[in-house]
Every structure is written in structure tokens, then in C-alpha cells.
Amino acid sequence: MRDLDEFTVTDEALAQMAGTANPRLKEILDAAVRHLHAFAREVNLTPQEWLQGIQFLTAVGQACTPIRQEFILLSDVLGLSAVVNALHDKKARELGTQSSLLGPFYREGAPEMKLGEQIVREPTAEEIVIYGRITDNDGKPVPNATIQVWQTSERGGYDLQERKGDDMDMRGNFRSAADGTYYFRTVRPLGYSIPMDGPVGGLVKTQGRHGMRPSHIHCLVGADGYRELVTALYFGDDPHIDSDTVFGVSESLVVQAKPDPGCPIPGLRAVHYDFRLAKAAPGENGRVGADPTRLAKEIA
């Protein structure tokens, strides 16, 4: 038996975990322990600060519900979700449209809709059209591709916030036509603040950050044999386009609604955006995040 100090305890912890059977799990846990211990040494973490951290993470877990995923929100505001996305993209055999964050408000089971339908049940703002084509990287159309879309209302709230998860709105699932085209009607979503009434919001306030996300429409695009695309379209005239609090904006995803003679529904302003899908490796999953309801059920 030997006495342990702030350095040798790391070696001892790694030695005790050496029997972890799953090699990938062992790699991840070993790295986590090394970095966590190094972090504590670097900042000379005190017992009081350590307890405050435990209390914060406990509060994050307690804030999670079937319609709210506070841990995904924490990952987003710390930039970790963006890092995981970037690392995932680097492993792709090829890259299509730039990815973005799935976010904590994605829901499975949105209504299946016909091309051209309105995803907002009772719009109170100007209708716009989102349209384009879904192709591979060579420009070949991808027919029957799924495109799931979801967004805030013109008031800046998701259905999970405005309707407390009772029913779905501002969401729809579409299928591309034989020539790869898609289009649907919506309203311009309002940029919004992330939920600031929980522990993550409190952290953001403490850091002196505004907590705002620019106006955007989430898109999840997939087809057999292609890498699932998790992305979003961001409206370039939003005042927070250059300071997204969850680091999701890329220049190639910035759009604007404008008069467009090519719009499939004449008379409405439109956003024209073509999605490119990359070929998938066997068993590959391009998603970072999950439906909070599913996460809650899996934990239960």
C-alpha cells in the first residue's frame, strides 16, 4: 500500500480501470480521468468549488424532463456539441452540405406532409416558401429522401415550449420528388433566447453572454445509402447571426427570404437551398443529439 498524492492518484485510478473489457469504453474513460485530474490540478480546485460543480450538474439533471433536455443544452452552450459535429464530419468519406446542431428541441414522429404544405398550424405572420433540391455530391437527384424540418414560431417558441409537449406544431416530414425537389410553406421563425430559467441559463448569465440564437430552421435530411445530414438554415439579417450562443452558424448555411421567380408557389417570398448528401459508410449514423422524450424513456 502506498500513500497517494494529486499525481499518483491518477495512475492508481487508471490501473484499477485497466480491466475494462470494452476497448473503446476503456479509451474514453482513461482519457476522461486523465483530463479531469489534470483540470483539477491546473486550476487548483478547492473542495468548495468541487461541491459547487457537483451541485450544478445535479441541478442540470433535475431540470431534464421528457420535453426538456438540459444536458444537451449544456453541451451546446459549451461548444462541445459543435466539436463533436466537427470531429464527426472529419471522419466522413466525403462531405455534403455543412452540418449544424440538432439541438434539444428535436422530436420524432412529426406529421407526414405533402410537398407545399404549411408546417405552422395557425400562422399569424407572412408565409414564406423553403424550396430546392436534394442531390448527391455529383448533382444527381436523390428521390424519396426524407427531410424533417422544425422551427420556432413567429413568437420565438418551439411547440415544446408554447404547447408544453401536448401536441406538435411548426414541424413536418416531407419526401423529395422523383427529381429530388422539395418545398414547403412556413413563416419566418423568430430568433430566441435559450431557456434561461434553468442551471444552464444561470451559467450563461454568469458568463455575461446574451444567450440568443439567430432565426433558423432545423433540417434533418436522409436517404438510403447516404449519410444523414443534421443541419439548419440561418437567416442572415438576424442581429445575432455572428454570435450564436451555441456556435451552430456556418457561412454556407446563411440564407434570406426574398422575391424569387423560381418559387414553386408564386407570389410568396422564398428561400432557395439545395442540400447535398454524402455517401455513408456501413452502419454510419450522422446524428448528434436525440428526442428528449426518447432519452427520458431510455434512462427509465
Whole-angstrom Cα distance, residue 239 to residue 146? 31
* Residue recorded with cell 427531410: 147
pTM value? Answer: 0.90
Q: Which CATH class is domain 70-299?
A: mainly beta
Neighbours of 12 (CB within 10 A): 11
Q: Which residues contact 76 (CB under 8 A, 6 or more apart)?
A: 82, 101, 103, 104, 194, 246, 247, 248
- φ, ψ (nearest 5 deg) of residue 218: -75, 145
Whole-angstrom Cα distance, residue 105 to residue 126? 24
Whole-angstrom Cα distance, residue 38 to residue 55? 21
Domain residue limits, the chain: 8-45, 70-299
- φ, ψ (nearest 5 deg) of residue 73: -60, -45
Q: How many percent of the chain have pLDDT more than 70?
A: 94
Instruction: Kindly report which listed range (17-31, 182-196, 236-250, 283-297) carries the lowest average pLDDT score.
Output: 283-297
Q: What is the mean pLDDT of the chain?
A: 93
pLDDT at 125 over 60: yes
Written as nine digits, the cell of 34 is: 486523465
| Burial group, residue 103, by CB count within 10 angstroms (0-12, 13-18, 19+) | buried
pLDDT band at residue 288 using 50, 70 and 90 as cut-offs: low
pLDDT band at residue 92 using 50, 70 and 90 as cut-offs: confident
Give the mean model confidence (pLDDT) for residues 134-143. Answer: 97
pLDDT at 246 over 90: yes
- φ, ψ (nearest 5 deg) of residue 118: -90, 130
Among residues 220, 202, 186, 233, the alpha carbon closest in space to that of 291 is found at: 220
pLDDT at 281 over 90: no
The predicted-structure confidence for 189-214, as pLDDT tens digits, reads as follows: 999 999 999 999 999 999 999 999 99
Among residues 262, 287, 280, 290, the alpha carbon closest in space to that of 142 is found at: 280
**Structural contact between residues 66 and 292, judged by C-beta atoms closer than 8 angstroms:** yes
Whole-angstrom Cα distance, residue 222 to residue 108? 14
